[in-house]
Structures are given as structure tokens and as C-alpha cells.
Structure 1
Amino acid sequence: MLPLIQIGEIVATKRRALGLSQATLAKQARVGHSTLDALENGRIGELGYSKITRILTALSLELTIQEAANHRPTLEELMEEDRDDQSLDRRR
């Protein structure tokens, strides 16, 4: 499951990529500016489904439902994922 803090990071990245200010996105999503700021900066403990979906919809994003993994990843799987991520990072 994606933690709320990670959703906030995705929202902030997408908002900036679209050239939107927090105030503009908050207005489009019909949420308070302080709510959006708290989400993007990891200072919010909970956020209702309707608010999250309005924010994501304003950014042309959506939540999806999928089967949960039956097991926790092994150290080897995590290391392989990290290697894959590093190979995609063109800044290195």
C-alpha cells in the first residue's frame, strides 16, 4: 500500500510538472490550501477519500486497486529493485 507521505510526494511532483501553484491546485480540487500543503510536505496524518480523489483528478491521476502481495519482499528482491532503479537514473 502506498503511504500517504508518498502520495503527497507524487502530488507535489506532478503539480510542479504541470506548472501549478499549490493555491491553484487547491482551488481546482476544492480542498484547503493548508490541506494540500500538509499533504505535500508529509504533515498530514489522514485525508479522506473524496479529498484525495479530487486532488488526483485535478492532476489527471487516479487510485487503482490491486491484489496485495502475499509476502514481503526478500532482501535480494529489494536489492534487485534498487539496481533497476539506479540503472534508470540517467543523472549518474
Structure 2
Amino acid sequence: MTLQELGTQFAGLRKANGHSQQQVAAMSGVDRTAISRFESGRITELGFSKVERLFALYGMELAPRSRKTPTLDDLVREREWPQ
């Protein structure tokens, strides 16, 4: 997943939870302008820890995933992975 895709996904989470960019900035410690640029895809680098903090606000975490198309067995194993 690209940084632009992450930004789009995060924007959807933020809006679905009824938060403004300013509220998210206050909760996460990430600058509001950086959040705006992240969501709109106008940022080339944000830093893993900031992206991780933003998603953590909504109970989400970043996890590595293979770029290959998963098989049915892969999907079953992923669902069975201990949480």
C-alpha cells in the first residue's frame, strides 16, 4: 500500500468518526497541515511513527503484507493468526 493509499484510507476513518483534522492533530501530536497533506496525497514522506499514531487513534495498526495475490490458504492462515 502506498502512502497516498494510506492517506485516503485514513481520511475515511477520520470522517467516519466525525473528527476534524484539528481534533486529530491535538489527539495525535501530528501537525494539522501534515495531516491535510497526508490525506490529500500531497506529502512524499510522513514517517512511520506518525502514520502509526494516526491509525492507532482508530484502533488500527500497520502490518506487513505480501504483494503477491493471496491464495485461499493464505487468507485462512491470516484469519487464524493469534490476535
**TM bin (shorter chain):** 0.7 to 0.9
Structure 1: state its 5+ residue gaps.
71-92
Structure 2: state its 5+ residue gaps.
70-83
Secondary structure of the 2:18 match is coil
| Percent of aligned pairs with the same amino acid | 32
Task: Spell out, residue by residue over 1:37-86, the C-alpha distance to the aligned partner (whole angstroms, 9 max, x if none).
Answer: 0000110001111101110111221111133428xxxxxxxxxxxxxxxx
Aligned length: 69
TM superposition shift of 1:27: 1.2
Which residue pairs with 2:61 in the alignment?
Answer: 62
Secondary structure of the 1:39 match is helix
TM-score after normalising by structure 1: 0.70
List structure 1 runs of 4+ shifted beyond 2 angstroms.
none
Highest Rg: 1 or 2?
1
Question: Which whole-Å CA distance do the structure 1 matches of 2:68 and 2:60 have between them?
Answer: 23
Question: Which whole-Å CA distance do the structure 2 matches of 1:66 and 1:17 have between them?
Answer: 25
